[in-house]
Structure 1
Amino acid sequence: MTVKLETMHAGEFLLSEGAGNISREAINVAAGAALQPGQILGLVTLSGEFSPYNPIAEDGTENATAILYGPLGESDVVRRGRAVVRMAEVSEAHLTGLDPAAEKALAVHFLIVR
Protein backbone atom coordinates (compact mmCIF):
# COMPACT_ATOMS: atom_id res chain seq x y z
CA MET A 1 0.00 0.00 0.00
CA THR A 2 1.32 3.43 -0.94
CA VAL A 3 1.30 6.01 1.82
CA LYS A 4 1.05 9.63 0.79
CA LEU A 5 1.96 12.45 3.15
CA GLU A 6 0.20 15.73 2.75
CA THR A 7 2.31 18.85 3.09
CA MET A 8 1.24 21.62 5.42
CA HIS A 9 -1.47 23.88 4.02
CA ALA A 10 -1.20 27.65 3.79
CA GLY A 11 -1.98 29.20 7.15
CA GLU A 12 -2.38 25.83 8.89
CA PHE A 13 -0.21 27.09 11.76
CA LEU A 14 -2.70 29.89 12.59
CA LEU A 15 -4.89 29.50 15.66
CA SER A 16 -6.34 33.02 15.41
CA GLU A 17 -5.50 36.31 13.74
CA GLY A 18 -6.69 39.90 13.63
CA ALA A 19 -9.85 40.82 11.73
CA GLY A 20 -9.60 41.43 8.01
CA ASN A 21 -6.06 41.50 6.66
CA ILE A 22 -4.43 43.24 9.62
CA SER A 23 -2.18 40.26 10.45
CA ARG A 24 -0.72 39.62 6.98
CA GLU A 25 1.52 41.48 4.55
CA ALA A 26 2.85 40.83 1.06
CA ILE A 27 6.62 40.37 1.31
CA ASN A 28 9.70 39.75 -0.81
CA VAL A 29 11.53 36.56 0.07
CA ALA A 30 15.19 36.11 -0.82
CA ALA A 31 16.13 33.55 -3.47
CA GLY A 32 16.83 30.09 -2.11
CA ALA A 33 15.41 26.74 -1.16
CA ALA A 34 11.71 25.88 -1.09
CA LEU A 35 9.94 27.04 2.07
CA GLN A 36 6.86 25.65 3.79
CA PRO A 37 4.10 27.52 5.63
CA GLY A 38 5.07 28.16 9.23
CA GLN A 39 8.71 28.99 8.44
CA ILE A 40 10.01 31.64 10.86
CA LEU A 41 11.49 34.54 8.90
CA GLY A 42 13.94 37.33 9.60
CA LEU A 43 14.50 40.51 7.58
CA VAL A 44 17.84 40.86 5.78
CA THR A 45 18.98 44.37 6.71
CA LEU A 46 20.80 45.28 3.48
CA SER A 47 18.28 43.95 0.94
CA GLY A 48 14.97 44.39 2.80
CA GLU A 49 14.06 40.82 1.82
CA PHE A 50 12.86 38.14 4.20
CA SER A 51 14.83 34.93 4.65
CA PRO A 52 14.60 31.96 7.04
CA TYR A 53 15.38 32.89 10.65
CA ASN A 54 18.99 32.07 11.56
CA PRO A 55 19.92 32.74 15.21
CA ILE A 56 23.68 32.76 14.49
CA ALA A 57 23.53 35.10 11.47
CA GLU A 58 24.63 38.74 11.53
CA ASP A 59 22.61 40.04 8.58
CA GLY A 60 19.26 40.77 10.26
CA THR A 61 17.86 37.24 10.00
CA GLU A 62 18.97 36.59 13.57
CA ASN A 63 15.82 38.49 14.61
CA ALA A 64 12.55 36.62 14.02
CA THR A 65 10.00 39.06 12.59
CA ALA A 66 7.40 37.10 10.61
CA ILE A 67 5.98 33.68 9.72
CA LEU A 68 5.57 32.54 6.12
CA TYR A 69 1.87 32.06 5.33
CA GLY A 70 2.00 29.83 2.24
CA PRO A 71 4.52 27.58 0.49
CA LEU A 72 7.21 28.97 -1.82
CA GLY A 73 9.10 26.93 -4.40
CA GLU A 74 12.86 26.92 -4.80
CA SER A 75 14.07 29.92 -6.80
CA ASP A 76 17.23 31.72 -7.86
CA VAL A 77 15.44 35.09 -7.87
CA VAL A 78 13.52 37.04 -5.24
CA ARG A 79 10.03 35.59 -4.66
CA ARG A 80 6.78 37.31 -3.68
CA GLY A 81 4.99 35.78 -0.72
CA ARG A 82 2.66 36.49 2.19
CA ALA A 83 3.58 36.47 5.85
CA VAL A 84 1.86 36.84 9.18
CA VAL A 85 3.62 39.82 10.72
CA ARG A 86 1.43 40.93 13.66
CA MET A 87 -1.53 40.16 15.90
CA ALA A 88 -1.93 36.37 15.69
CA GLU A 89 -1.80 33.22 17.78
CA VAL A 90 0.15 30.38 16.19
CA SER A 91 0.65 26.68 16.86
CA GLU A 92 4.15 25.83 18.08
CA ALA A 93 3.94 22.34 16.57
CA HIS A 94 3.48 23.79 13.07
CA LEU A 95 6.40 26.24 13.06
CA THR A 96 9.82 25.68 11.49
CA GLY A 97 12.88 27.24 13.08
CA LEU A 98 11.33 28.18 16.40
CA ASP A 99 13.62 28.56 19.41
CA PRO A 100 13.19 30.52 22.67
CA ALA A 101 14.82 33.65 21.21
CA ALA A 102 12.53 33.56 18.17
CA GLU A 103 9.49 33.10 20.39
CA LYS A 104 10.43 36.22 22.38
CA ALA A 105 11.12 38.23 19.23
CA LEU A 106 7.79 37.24 17.67
CA ALA A 107 5.94 38.24 20.84
CA VAL A 108 7.16 41.83 20.34
CA HIS A 109 5.04 41.82 17.14
CA PHE A 110 2.11 40.27 19.00
CA LEU A 111 2.73 36.90 17.33
CA ILE A 112 1.96 34.60 20.26
CA VAL A 113 3.10 30.98 20.22
CA ARG A 114 0.70 28.52 21.87
Structure 2
Amino acid sequence: MLNQKDYAGSVAFLVSDHYVMLGCVIDSSTVTADSDGDKILKAGTILGKITASGKFGPYNSTATDGRQTAVGILAHDVDVTKEDAMVNYLIHGVVQESKLTGIDATAKTQLSHIIFI
Protein backbone atom coordinates (compact mmCIF):
# COMPACT_ATOMS: atom_id res chain seq x y z
CA MET A 1 0.00 0.00 0.00
CA LEU A 2 1.26 3.45 -0.90
CA ASN A 3 1.87 5.79 2.04
CA GLN A 4 1.02 9.33 0.94
CA LYS A 5 1.65 12.53 2.87
CA ASP A 6 0.13 15.87 2.03
CA TYR A 7 2.53 18.70 2.71
CA ALA A 8 1.48 21.22 0.10
CA GLY A 9 0.46 23.94 2.54
CA SER A 10 1.10 27.53 1.70
CA VAL A 11 0.57 31.07 2.90
CA ALA A 12 -2.93 30.40 4.32
CA PHE A 13 -1.79 32.29 7.43
CA LEU A 14 -1.64 35.60 5.50
CA VAL A 15 -4.51 38.00 6.20
CA SER A 16 -3.75 40.68 3.59
CA ASP A 17 -2.23 40.98 0.13
CA HIS A 18 0.34 43.48 1.39
CA TYR A 19 3.48 41.55 2.40
CA VAL A 20 7.21 41.20 1.75
CA MET A 21 9.09 37.90 1.35
CA LEU A 22 12.74 37.00 0.96
CA GLY A 23 14.53 33.77 0.06
CA CYS A 24 16.74 31.57 2.23
CA VAL A 25 18.14 28.05 2.55
CA ILE A 26 16.76 25.70 5.22
CA ASP A 27 19.50 23.67 6.96
CA SER A 28 18.09 20.13 6.96
CA SER A 29 20.15 19.21 10.04
CA THR A 30 17.99 21.58 12.15
CA VAL A 31 14.73 19.81 11.26
CA THR A 32 13.55 16.86 13.35
CA ALA A 33 12.41 13.79 11.41
CA ASP A 34 8.86 12.52 11.94
CA SER A 35 7.95 8.89 12.69
CA ASP A 36 8.42 8.00 9.00
CA GLY A 37 11.86 9.61 8.86
CA ASP A 38 10.65 12.60 6.84
CA LYS A 39 11.87 16.12 7.63
CA ILE A 40 9.00 18.42 6.68
CA LEU A 41 8.58 22.01 7.84
CA LYS A 42 5.05 23.36 7.57
CA ALA A 43 4.09 26.74 6.17
CA GLY A 44 3.73 29.15 9.07
CA THR A 45 6.79 27.84 10.92
CA ILE A 46 8.79 30.60 12.61
CA LEU A 47 12.38 30.69 11.33
CA GLY A 48 15.72 31.75 12.79
CA LYS A 49 19.03 32.35 11.01
CA ILE A 50 22.09 30.27 11.90
CA THR A 51 24.94 32.68 12.55
CA ALA A 52 27.83 30.46 11.39
CA SER A 53 26.36 29.30 8.06
CA GLY A 54 23.78 31.94 7.14
CA LYS A 55 21.26 29.15 6.61
CA PHE A 56 17.90 29.04 8.38
CA GLY A 57 16.10 26.59 10.64
CA PRO A 58 13.08 26.45 12.91
CA TYR A 59 13.10 29.19 15.56
CA ASN A 60 14.17 27.81 18.94
CA SER A 61 14.17 30.19 21.91
CA THR A 62 16.79 28.08 23.72
CA ALA A 63 19.18 27.68 20.77
CA THR A 64 22.63 29.27 20.83
CA ASP A 65 23.37 29.12 17.09
CA GLY A 66 21.34 32.17 16.04
CA ARG A 67 17.96 30.43 15.74
CA GLN A 68 16.99 31.93 19.10
CA THR A 69 16.18 35.12 17.17
CA ALA A 70 13.05 34.93 15.00
CA VAL A 71 13.59 36.47 11.56
CA GLY A 72 10.57 35.39 9.51
CA ILE A 73 7.77 32.94 8.77
CA LEU A 74 8.07 30.04 6.31
CA ALA A 75 5.76 30.65 3.32
CA HIS A 76 5.27 27.09 2.01
CA ASP A 77 5.69 23.54 3.28
CA VAL A 78 9.14 22.16 2.50
CA ASP A 79 10.63 18.66 2.58
CA VAL A 80 14.29 18.67 3.63
CA THR A 81 14.57 14.92 4.22
CA LYS A 82 17.36 14.44 1.68
CA GLU A 83 18.97 17.86 1.46
CA ASP A 84 18.81 21.55 2.32
CA ALA A 85 16.17 23.49 0.40
CA MET A 86 15.65 27.03 -0.91
CA VAL A 87 12.41 28.61 0.38
CA ASN A 88 10.60 31.92 0.73
CA TYR A 89 9.86 33.48 4.10
CA LEU A 90 7.70 36.39 5.21
CA ILE A 91 9.34 39.42 6.86
CA HIS A 92 6.49 41.93 6.64
CA GLY A 93 2.72 41.52 6.62
CA VAL A 94 -0.42 40.70 8.57
CA VAL A 95 -0.86 37.09 9.73
CA GLN A 96 -3.33 34.93 11.61
CA GLU A 97 -1.38 33.91 14.71
CA SER A 98 -3.38 30.71 15.29
CA LYS A 99 -2.05 29.26 12.01
CA LEU A 100 1.63 29.66 12.96
CA THR A 101 4.01 27.04 14.37
CA GLY A 102 6.58 27.87 17.04
CA ILE A 103 5.38 31.37 17.87
CA ASP A 104 5.94 32.76 21.36
CA ALA A 105 5.94 36.23 22.93
CA THR A 106 9.67 36.72 22.27
CA ALA A 107 9.35 35.78 18.59
CA LYS A 108 6.40 38.15 18.19
CA THR A 109 8.52 41.00 19.55
CA GLN A 110 11.45 40.09 17.29
CA LEU A 111 9.19 39.99 14.22
CA SER A 112 8.45 43.69 14.55
CA HIS A 113 7.31 44.17 10.93
CA ILE A 114 4.63 41.50 11.21
CA ILE A 115 1.19 42.20 12.65
CA PHE A 116 -0.40 39.26 14.47
CA ILE A 117 -4.18 38.94 14.69
Task: Tell me which interval the TM-score lies in, with the shorter structure as reference length.
Answer: 0.7 to 0.9
Q: Are 2:16 and 1:13 equivalent residues in the alignment?
A: no
Partners of 2:17 and 2:72 in 1: CA distance? 13
**Alignment match, 1:105:** 110
Query: Unmatched 5+ residue regions in structure 1?
Result: 1-5
**Alignment match, 2:34:** none
Partners of 1:52 and 1:23 in 2: CA distance? 19
Partners of 1:48 and 1:97 in 2: CA distance? 20
Q: Give aligned pairs, total.
A: 103
Q: Are 2:43 and 1:37 equivalent residues in the alignment?
A: yes
Q: What's the C-alpha RMSD, in Å, of the aligned pairs?
A: 1.7
Partners of 2:47 and 2:80 in 1: CA distance? 16
Inter-CA distance 88–29: structure 2 relative to 1 (3 Å threshold): same
**Alignment match, 2:69:** 63
Q: Which amino acid aligns with 2:25?
A: N
Query: Unmatched 5+ residue regions in structure 2?
Result: 1-5, 32-38
Query: Structure 1 runs of 4+ off > 4 angstroms?
Result: none
Return the offset for 1:7.
6.0
Return the offset for 1:89.
0.7
Q: What SS does the aligned partner of 2:16 have?
A: strand
